[in-house]
Amino acid sequence: MSRTGCSLDEADHRDALASGQGASPRDPATARMVSHASGSGRSDGWTEQTAVGIRPGVGQDEGQKTMAKPTVPPTATDDEVRALLVRYRCPVPFHEVRTRFLGNIASPGMGVSPIKVVESLWGGKLPEFETIDAANELVGALVMGLWNRLSRHQDRNAPFRLTRIETGATREGLAALAMLRRQELEGFVEGLFGKEEVLDFPERAHRGLGALSEMWALFEGTEVVARDETKPGTVRDMEKTLRLLRQMTKDAEHEIHAILLSCKRARGQMIASLPAPKPTLH
């Protein structure tokens, strides 16, 4: 699976990631995050949800050197990308596309180009286009536009932000917000792992994945409870739950940023000590 520590102009020149301090299995809790909600992490009540605490700060990358990037022509905005996804009936919502791309940018996996990740949004094959220009428009908007903008979040001073929506303390509002966050976390993990079941991560990224798994379970549990009309809930309960969801949003952003920096730092350390074959001298 491809990674990038730079813009997509350099996407075909991937570096190898040093093995982490532990392997992070792509089980239901830390990868797809589908089965975890049925375990102890899930709550069946409004007021039992608890936000995961803020994790320790992340250190600044050291020893990183950057190359000057070629000038990139004006690219599609997020609104234009949304419109293109709707036009070509992309089954993955925009907010999940963002986090899927971001996860792939951070991923220690190797071998998949950005265009393959774009194709995966439509199940592995791009939609049909009427003209070559139409194809270039879509791919350019997603790769040169959205992907490259997201790659900037590997800078410790440019943390990623999840999608913000206006919502009230109602069943519908809580369900919508919880579903949004659940899908965003699923997208991030899908991008990180791709088709792999197990990948090696640096220790900090490994811990971050565990924290995101816990938060995913809470978002999923809240969505289920909010949609269940048989579950009682007062206005006060819903207001408290909304505050907790907002706090977990900040916690999730913190962990995502930590994972991005940890993986980038590990790649940089590996680049500094890549083995070289002995040259043949004639």
Lowest mean pLDDT across 1-5, 108-112, 232-236, 245-249: 1-5
| Confidence (pTM) | 0.72
Sorting pLDDT into bands at 50, 70 and 90, what band is 76? Answer: confident
If one counts every other C-beta atom within 10 angstroms of the C-beta of residue 237, the result is 18
Give the model confidence (pLDDT) of 134-179 as tens digits.
999 999 999 999 999 999 999 999 999 999 999 999 999 999 999 9
Residue 103's pLDDT is 95
Lowest mean pLDDT across 44-48, 74-78, 138-142, 244-248: 44-48
Q: Any idea what DSSP says for residue 36?
A: G
Q: Which residue has the higher pLDDT, 26 or 96?
A: 96
pLDDT at 108 over 50: yes
Residue labelled with tokens 């699976």: 1
CA distance 245 to 2: 32
Strands (E), 90-156: none
Phi first, then psi: give them for residue 22, nearest 5 degrees: -165, 150
Contacts 24+ apart (CB under 8 A), 116-125: 116/2, 117/2, 117/191, 117/194, 118/142, 118/143, 121/85, 121/90, 121/91, 121/92, 121/97, 122/88, 122/90, 122/91, 123/91
